[in-house]
Amino acid sequence: MDSEAAKMIGAGLAMGLGALGPGVGIGILGYGAMQALGRNPEARGPIMTNMILSIAFAEAIGIYALIIAIILGML
């Protein structure tokens, strides 16, 4: 295996594993928000605001993984 192949495998693993956590986290956040809305529909505003903010933070972790994968691919 040459160094170029190893770099691409490393970049792929960094992105794949780096996106796994945020994907699962966003799914759990969406599930919890829908459960909360089902129990208390009047609290839609605060629930949706907190859900969107939490999803943005989880998505930032995926973006960090993408940046690391790009850097690994360029080295």
Render pLDDT for 9-19 as a digit per residue (tens, 0 to 9).
999 999 999 99
Question: What is the set of domains in the chain, with CATH numbers?
Answer: 3-74 (1.20.20.10)
Question: Which residue in 27, 13, 21 sits closest to 73, CA to CA?
Answer: 13
**pLDDT at 43 > cutoff 80:** yes
pTM of the complete model:
0.81
Give pLDDT tens digits for 29-38: 999 999 999 9
Residue 49's CB is within 10 A of a number of other CB atoms, namely 10
pLDDT of residue 1: 75
Give Rg (Cα) of the chain: 17
